A = this chain, B = another copy of it.
């Protein structure tokens, strides 16, 4: 049961540091996360994205608007429901993701330096579970 405690405080503190040492200065972590989701799922409507990111629809409206303003995302009318919109990545988003993957690897290298191999393996093993938990 002590593990829950450690998990909770570890996640909270690390998220604060992640938010701060963000890989790409111009994009918030949630914006990055949305781009990642779009890269995986192709296009989606704003409310689908909101559900996937566990964010309320109005928040997603703003995030998508930001991404559109930065030219990373395109908004098109939904083919069969005129209330909805479809959000798709632009080519620019793809190249930006690629570039930031580069930086992320540098950050990783520094990070991994502080951990021994076993510790890093544990993190890697837990990462998908964290994602599952975050989504469930």
* Residue on B nearest A13 in the bound complex, by CB: B134
Q: Is the CB of A8 within 8 A of B3?
A: no
* Residue on B nearest A136 in the bound complex, by CB: B114
| Total copies of the chain | 2
Q: Is the CB of A8 within 8 A of B16?
A: no
Interface string of A110-125 (1 = CB under 8 A from B): 0100110001101111
Q: Is the CB of B129 within 8 A of A123?
A: yes
**CA distance in complex: A89, B81 (Å):** 57
Q: Is the CB of A54 within 8 A of B17?
A: yes
Q: Say if the beta carbon of A133 comes within 8 Å of chain B.
A: yes
Provided the pairs A14-B11, A15-B15 are in contact, do residues A6 and B133 lie with their beta carbons within 8 angstroms? no
Return A104 CB to nearest CB of chain B, in Å.
6
**CA distance in complex: A11, B123 (Å):** 11
Of residues A18, A107, A126, which shows the largest number of chain B Cβ atoms within 10 Å of its Cβ? A126
**CA distance in complex: A55, B136 (Å):** 30
Q: Which residues from B are CB-within-8-Å of A115?
A: 129, 132-133
